[in-house]
Amino acid sequence: MPHSLSELAARTGATVAGDGDVVITHVATLESAGPGAIAFLANIKYRAQLAATRASAVIVAPEVAGDTAVPKLLTAAPYSTYAKVASILYPAEPIEPGTHPSAAVDPHASVASSAVIGAHAVVGAKASVGERARIGAGCVVGDGASIGDDTVLYPNVTVYDRCVIGPRCVVHSGVVIGADGFGLAEEKGRWLKIPQIGRVVIGADVEIGANTTIDRGAIDDTVIEDDVKLDNQIQIGHNCRIGAHTAIAGCTGIAGSTRIGRNCRIGGAAMISGHIDICDGAMISGAAQIHDSIKVPGMYTSAFPIMPYKEWRRQAMALRRLADFEDRVRQLEKNRSGARLVAEPPADEDKQ
């Protein structure tokens, strides 16, 4: 739906510079934008594209406003303002409540009259589905599970028995919530399965990317707090707790009983060992390996930067020799200390 630049400014809290009556119909990049489009500059390395853009308007910080003559939305946070503008220009499609004839809803389930239950979805006994919730085709909501108001499950999501998803969450296709954690005890060379009796409890405004898996707790619950954002293909082990407003990029693996604080940022393919704590505000680089608790906020990394293979091999071989080098240095220091004791006369002899 078209909006004037002034309307967009009023709804996002930005300031108009230039013609506020220009009509905006869609968003685009600085490079590809044409008439009717609004673009944005959030990364300074694209600043050169700002002067050449053919967009009808741009979203920029005040310090770069002079780089282009087109109408602008001025804001200290161009990227988040762009997110708001895009939501206004591309609103969610209205839904028609109801249950598809092919869906299987247990007579003891509670489904709000405003909810949508898609084709071949299953809603188990004593499960609850909140107001305006959308359960996509092929989803399974297990016995006693709870889906909050305005939450969307895209097709083929599985929510195991008794798990809880709060309001306004978005769960993408292929997600599995509440599968058994990896709980095993060894006896006489064989594995005994430990019953996983906890749940997964997910707060409000959480988004979970495609094919991510979150294991249920062994005894206590696995907990995902409010406003957590999880990318695709993340594994979260049993009894983990992820603090509010934390964002985790794709292919990260988090072993069981790990506690991650609030407002953390974790890069893709990070590997996090179990039974450790990561404090509020920690930032972890992609592909990092975290084996110990992090107690002080800041940026942490453990991976080599990219380099030519021969150089990487030389560096790796040097690392393998570090332990031997350390032993040799210690022995040299010990020998040197012993030689000094022999060479130095006693104090009374020295006075003579």
Q: Which residues are catalytic?
A: 238
How remote is the C-alpha of 204 from its chain's centroid?
Answer: 15
Half-sphere exposure at residue 302, Cβ-oriented, CA atoms within 13 angstroms: 12
Angle between helices 309-320 and 322-343 (to 10 degrees): 40
